[in-house]
Chains A and B, each alone.
Chain A
């Protein structure tokens, strides 16, 4: 199958449609709530939580005895929340810092989960096959009921965010001020974190534990580069996330050996890279261009004011002078002469230059300004 074929198949192949919908919705949801995770400055919490969910999944299976998505997700949720709470506990009660706490919970919980996983695999229970899909995700196994759950969670999140928009905003921006106007910051924080944990748990079966953090972070990080308004950032992040999800499915369905999860993450990463480089306000490329432009403008001004100083010593300020008068000035070059002539500020020939009236005026202004500063 190739890409064209994929889009044709969409209308007829039910499974494909479900998977596309699922990854699209999931991607959008991750972008949506990921914006808040990124702004909370707890970017890697997602990574820790997704790893911490594993023992919960295994224990849920051991208790319930069936590989029912609802149970497993519940287990993941509980385990994720316990992990989150413990992380907070470590940070607030000991002098271990947040990175250590995150790393501890991440690896210790996951390792414990591994223990349970291999223990389960020894059990003679055909139902447990596929528990390890949570490690790397298997979008291909998405079913209609999974997508339904995602839809519900999306609606709840959307509703919650719209309702508490300004509360979330002020909590993330200035938590102390928020306290003074009476906001119950602790509860709002818990609520927001719970939503994030919920979304992470939802995403585990599609992209897996390792890659989950990227899906939370990348769309939001990309969106941030394009706007300074929070609501636009959240909107863009949702869009980027959905796009990554869908393109991941499209590409992996079209090329038979591509695993979906990694392709989704790479799509998101490409969007991030593109945003980092090309975004007009913050992008590296534009920054570099602006920097060079201003550096060149400074050089031009310097050359012009040097010429002014030379020219103003003579009665006829518009008289030509030899180029060698500028020999001491290291910055001049033919390029600068050309540019100045382009702007109508000087005339120049092979060996001489002269200021135009316009050039003289401009230089005079510059000179006066510089003089004031000096």
Chain B
């Protein structure tokens, strides 16, 4: 690995972490799409800044773009408050309009401007190392690295100082407001941070990757933990992982780095989505099947307990009266038998002593509404789970 390669990965990693932090809060606050809106809507801000300074590297661009980002959020809030459209619709109306203004501005001054809309949207981190920061005559590294690094540092500081307030206002906005932490202030504070982060990251990785880096690592982490601190660390970790893996994928395929990083993020998310031990698709599917069978079992046992008539304890009755398909009915019967809850003689089902004890306990739990107790009770009685 040469210097440029290291620097690119470093920048990518920094951007990933910088995005993961506000991203976590956005996902928790159900505001994920505002990142899409901001990353597109800041275009006119950048263009305006460029028209004024004629310098793509001027800090004014960052300021103008950030302001435009906050303006976007404000416009969306205002529009939603009028009650004329829902919030989603407001977002979907405002950012394309702003983006269009930006594109038209560029097109009208095509002679002056070296802004390539493609680059704006897609970014090209591969060029980042070529833009260096020279301070006091010393080359201290790529400019993006410093800019992103500073923003990241500020984010971490803000997070440290306002962790409690941010946490509270995210999980319990009512309480937070009543305790005096102005939700509006926190909201716009978060939005400003998101805007700044978007602006500086976007130069390096483009609009779409910024959106991906804000949402995907946080969403993936959310599937694994509900603890805010853990979630922040996990999303930062996932971001860095994807950044580096993505870089090497792009290297191998000779394709867009931004695209590769996003693809890795996607694979990561897919993996966790499917295979996460408790919340993953597969785990949930299995759990639901198991629970359904076990609840059906309890229902069945209760039914046997409640109905003494031989006709209602016949296996056929299961299908008619309880309305189960053969497959379900057989599965329930099997489970009950394996656990020694029932005896079947001449097609008639009756409870064993163990079955009776289990059923009685179940009834008490249900009547007292202590349904959580059912789980421990199951563990006591069940030899075989569903």
- Residue A355 lies at the interface, judged by CB distance under 8 Å to chain B: no
Within 8 A of A (CB), among B95-149: 96-97, 99-101, 103-104, 107-108, 110, 117-118, 121-122
Does A103 lie within 8 Å of B32, measured CB to CB? yes
Does B99 lie within 8 Å of A110, measured CB to CB? no
Q: Please name the residue on chain A nearest to B117 by beta carbon.
A: A136
- Residue B40 lies at the interface, judged by CB distance under 8 Å to chain A: yes
- Contact (A122, B222) CB under 8 Å given A104-B269, A135-B121: no
- In angstroms, Cα B255 to Cα A44, docked, is 29
- In angstroms, Cα B211 to Cα A110, docked, is 11
- In angstroms, Cα B223 to Cα A42, docked, is 23
- Residue A282 lies at the interface, judged by CB distance under 8 Å to chain B: yes
Does A135 lie within 8 Å of B103, measured CB to CB? no
- In angstroms, Cα B208 to Cα A276, docked, is 30
How distant is B278 from chain A, measured CB to nearest CB, in Å?
11
- Residue B310 lies at the interface, judged by CB distance under 8 Å to chain A: no
Hey, what's the 0/1 contact readout for A262-294 against B, CB within 8 Å counting as 1?
110110010010001000001010000000000
- Residue B200 lies at the interface, judged by CB distance under 8 Å to chain A: no
- For residue A103, which residues in chain B have a CB less than 8 angstroms away from its CB? 32-33, 35-36, 211, 215
Does A284 lie within 8 Å of B82, measured CB to CB? yes
Of A9-17, A93-101, A186-194, A315-323, the segment with at least 4 beta carbons within 8 Å of chain B is: A93-101
Hey, what's the 0/1 contact readout for A113-125 against B, CB within 8 Å counting as 1?
1111111001000
Taking a contact as CB atoms closer than 8 A, the residue among B88, B110, B209 that contacts A44 in the complex is B88
Of B2-10, B187-195, B260-268, the segment with at least 4 beta carbons within 8 Å of chain A is: B260-268
- For residue A38, which residues in chain B have a CB less than 8 angstroms away from its CB? 85, 89
- For residue B382, which residues in chain A have a CB less than 8 angstroms away from its CB? none
Hey, what's the 0/1 contact readout for B284-323 against A, CB within 8 Å counting as 1?
1000000000000000000000000000000000000000
Taking a contact as CB atoms closer than 8 A, the residue among A110, A119, A263 that contacts B100 in the complex is A263
- Residue A324 lies at the interface, judged by CB distance under 8 Å to chain B: no
- Contact (A115, B85) CB under 8 Å given A97-B30, A214-B96: no
- For residue A258, which residues in chain B have a CB less than 8 angstroms away from its CB? 104, 107-108
- Residue A217 lies at the interface, judged by CB distance under 8 Å to chain B: yes
- Residue A41 lies at the interface, judged by CB distance under 8 Å to chain B: yes
Does A111 lie within 8 Å of B262, measured CB to CB? yes
Does B100 lie within 8 Å of A266, measured CB to CB? yes
How would you classify the secondary structure of chain A's contact residues: helix, strand, loop or mixed?
Answer: helix
How distant is B180 from chain A, measured CB to nearest CB, in Å?
28
Within 8 A of B (CB), among A80-106: 89-90, 93-97, 99-100, 102-104, 106
- For residue A276, which residues in chain B have a CB less than 8 angstroms away from its CB? 79, 82, 84
- Residue B93 lies at the interface, judged by CB distance under 8 Å to chain A: yes
- Residue B86 lies at the interface, judged by CB distance under 8 Å to chain A: yes
Does A259 lie within 8 Å of B33, measured CB to CB? no
Does A115 lie within 8 Å of B104, measured CB to CB? no
How distant is B263 from chain A, measured CB to nearest CB, in Å?
5
How many chain B residues touch A (CB < 8 A): the figure is 59
- For residue B258, which residues in chain A have a CB less than 8 angstroms away from its CB? 111, 114
Does A259 lie within 8 Å of B118, measured CB to CB? no
How distant is B267 from chain A, measured CB to nearest CB, in Å?
9
- Residue B237 lies at the interface, judged by CB distance under 8 Å to chain A: no
Does A282 lie within 8 Å of B259, measured CB to CB? no
- In angstroms, Cα B263 to Cα A90, docked, is 18
- Residue A231 lies at the interface, judged by CB distance under 8 Å to chain B: no
How distant is B362 from chain A, measured CB to nearest CB, in Å?
28
Taking a contact as CB atoms closer than 8 A, the residue among B30, B89, B266 that contacts A99 in the complex is B30
A-B contact count (CB 8 A): 187
How would you classify the secondary structure of chain B's contact residues: helix, strand, loop or mixed?
Answer: helix
- For residue B219, which residues in chain A have a CB less than 8 angstroms away from its CB? 96, 100, 104
Does B32 lie within 8 Å of A108, measured CB to CB? no
- For residue B222, which residues in chain A have a CB less than 8 angstroms away from its CB? 96, 100
How distant is B233 from chain A, measured CB to nearest CB, in Å?
19
- Residue B254 lies at the interface, judged by CB distance under 8 Å to chain A: yes
Does B259 lie within 8 Å of A104, measured CB to CB? no
- Residue A57 lies at the interface, judged by CB distance under 8 Å to chain B: no
Does B263 lie within 8 Å of A115, measured CB to CB? yes
- In angstroms, Cα B107 to Cα A257, docked, is 6
- Residue B281 lies at the interface, judged by CB distance under 8 Å to chain A: yes
- For residue B269, which residues in chain A have a CB less than 8 angstroms away from its CB? 104, 108
Q: Please name the residue on chain A nearest to B260 by beta carbon.
A: A115
Q: Please name the residue on chain B nearest to A273 by beta carbon.
A: B97
How distant is A355 from chain B, measured CB to nearest CB, in Å?
41
Does B36 lie within 8 Å of A224, measured CB to CB? no
Q: Please name the residue on chain B nearest to A109 by beta carbon.
A: B266
How distant is A193 from chain B, measured CB to nearest CB, in Å?
16
- In angstroms, Cα B97 to Cα A263, docked, is 9
- In angstroms, Cα B85 to Cα A116, docked, is 37
- In angstroms, Cα B266 to Cα A303, docked, is 68
- In angstroms, Cα B91 to Cα A97, docked, is 17
- Residue A225 lies at the interface, judged by CB distance under 8 Å to chain B: yes
- Contact (A96, B223) CB under 8 Å given A107-B208, A108-B265, A262-B103: yes
- In angstroms, Cα B96 to Cα A359, docked, is 56
- In angstroms, Cα B100 to Cα A261, docked, is 8
How distant is B59 from chain A, measured CB to nearest CB, in Å?
27
- Contact (A122, B255) CB under 8 Å given A94-B279, A100-B30: yes
- For residue A284, which residues in chain B have a CB less than 8 angstroms away from its CB? 82, 84
- Residue B51 lies at the interface, judged by CB distance under 8 Å to chain A: no
A-B contact list, 16 entries, CB within 8 Å: A46-B92, A89-B281, A94-B273, A96-B27, A96-B219, A97-B30, A99-B33, A111-B212, A111-B265, A115-B255, A115-B256, A217-B93, A258-B107, A259-B104, A262-B99, A265-B100
Task: List the interface of chain A (C-beta within 8 A of B).
Answer: 38, 41-44, 46-47, 51, 89-90, 93-97, 99-100, 102-104, 106-119, 122, 132, 135-136, 210-211, 213-214, 216-218, 221, 224-225, 257-259, 261-263, 265-266, 269, 272, 276, 282, 284
Task: List the interface of chain B (C-beta within 8 A of A).
Answer: 27, 30-33, 35-36, 40, 79, 82, 84-86, 88-89, 91-93, 96-97, 99-101, 103-104, 107-108, 110, 117-118, 121-122, 208-209, 211-212, 215-216, 219, 222-223, 250, 253-256, 258-263, 265-266, 269, 273, 279, 281, 284
Q: Which 7 A-B pairs have the closest CB atoms?
A: A111-B262, A115-B259, A114-B259, A214-B96, A262-B100, A107-B212, A103-B32
User: A111-B262, A261-B103 known; 18 other A-B pairs, CB under 8 Å?
Assistant: A43-B91, A51-B208, A96-B219, A100-B215, A104-B32, A104-B216, A106-B211, A107-B209, A114-B259, A118-B256, A122-B254, A210-B96, A214-B92, A221-B84, A221-B85, A265-B96, A266-B101, A269-B100
